[in-house]
Amino acid sequence: MSWNDKYEAVIGLEVHAQLATNSKLFCGDSTAFGAAPNTHISPITMGHPGTLPKTNKKAVEYAIKLGLACGCEIEKDNYFARKNYFYPDLPKGYQISQHTTPICKGGHVTIQTPEGERQVQLNRIHMEEDAGKSIHDLDEHFTCIDLNRAGTPLVEIVTEPDIFSAEEAWSYVTEIRRLVRWIGICDGNMEEGSLRCDANVSIRLKGETKLGTKVEVKNLNSIRNVKKAIEYEISRMVELVENGGKVQQQTRSFDASTDTTFAIRDKEEANDYRYFPDPDLAPFHLTDTFIQSIASTLPALPADLKKKYQLDFGLSAYDAGQLCDEKETTDFFASVIEHTRQYKAVANWVLGPIRQYQNEHGIGFAELQLAPALLAELIQLVDDGKVSFSVASSKLLPAVISGEGSPLAIAEKMNLLQVSDTNELETWITEALESMPDKVTEYRKGKKGLIGLFVGDVKKRSKGKADPKLVTQLLEQKLNQ
């Protein structure tokens, strides 16, 4: 019997996403990644006496944008509070956060599971500032502090305990990363810490409705680590409980070198942060008009587009999903279908030869010099039987991308147009059939599979320029006379 016949895992995730603003949440310091340590730290970031913070409007807009994309209710009356505690990377001695009054409430994120799509319920999305960074491995004796990150705007996306496996958690974080990138509020770079995840994990007996005691694994910085940490926690807890032990409420950390977690502290009764509204920051009220103006900037969302592509364009779920994986791909697809109604062919080209070209050259859509109209023209040439797909993708596509002209002009210049002149084809066909009379006899006796051999031979004689569809047709006519 495996553990999941008896137990069920329950997971709630808290994802911190760094908002892609140029400046910090309460002052004009740059948020650029990778600057020399402690160079983006004005007296406001440092919390010097007499300084006054001011809320970054863009950050508020981005938080609302995410809330709208997740179907949250947007809170109109907002304020920031101080969460007081001491830590060396927290220069002010408090973190400014929206503890009990999140800007976005409820909502959901749609994830993919082996059983199909499912909505993970959100509890809230709130805004807060980031702390600085303690670096323990730079100096032998000292911990180094870089405060550049202090004051960077974050949203914290908190789910209900509504995730039930490590795979679902993987799928959820993948979806969050796609979504924040899609709507342009966060670059989603987990390696640079733009997305970080805390995983709350508990187990309970199957059928039990009460939640078990949870542990919180802090600061997971890759999707892989989220999955590994949860897998480890579940197996640790099951083993503990099976051996008669009890799960302790704890905060834990993940060790990526061993894929295990270790306790960093037992959860204290966490009521000593002395939250109070920040007296230096005015509360802010959001009008319907303001929220509406942000809603109007929201692009069509991947889940909706995926459905539309299947319904309106007859694409497979797989192709639609691939096209909606990244916004750049979707945008390119959308720009091509403005010029042609061959939706399926466009999808095939974007996910096939174009993706291959991009991989070979290590470029994205931003660097791809391919006018959508020219791709549409190329697709039309293939559909008209003027060039074969293989010639179009291997020869014409690179030439069009290098700016050598329109697909038709290039095909003419490079002598790649397929011959669909019946007279010319007849000559090659006659030559081909005369060169293998035995095979012709076999064919006529019923070995119809030989047609491929004849077509191939004609193609060779034409140096690849014979339109294979037409050749097949003519061959069949001739052989069945």
Could you list the residues that contact ligand ADP (CB under 6 A)? 10-14, 123, 158-161, 200-202, 211-212, 214
* Terminal CA-CA length for the chain: 68
CB of 178 to ligand ADP, least distance (A): 20
Cβ-proximal residue to ligand ADP, closest one = 12
CB of 116 to ligand ADP, least distance (A): 23
CB of 159 to ligand ADP, least distance (A): 5
Q: How far apart are CA 121 and CA 253, in angstroms?
A: 25
Residue number with CB closer to ligand ADP (96 or 169)? 169
Q: How far apart are CA 26 and CA 58, in angstroms?
A: 11
Residue number with CB closer to ligand ADP (237 or 458)? 237
Residue number with CB closer to ligand ADP (163 or 305)? 163
- Tokens representing 273 are 């942060």
Residue number with CB closer to ligand ADP (202 or 329)? 202
CB of 304 to ligand ADP, least distance (A): 26
CB of 214 to ligand ADP, least distance (A): 4
Residue number with CB closer to ligand ADP (176 or 408)? 176
Residue number with CB closer to ligand ADP (10 or 474)? 10
CB of 212 to ligand ADP, least distance (A): 6
Residue number with CB closer to ligand ADP (12 or 153)? 12
Q: Count other C-beta atoms under 10 Å from residue 209's C-beta.
A: 5
Dihedral class, residue 355 (left if φ above 0, else alpha if ψ from -120 to 50, else beta) = alpha
For residue 86, give the amino acid letter. F
- Tokens representing 15 are 């994802």
Residue number with CB closer to ligand ADP (13 or 324)? 13
CB of 280 to ligand ADP, least distance (A): 26
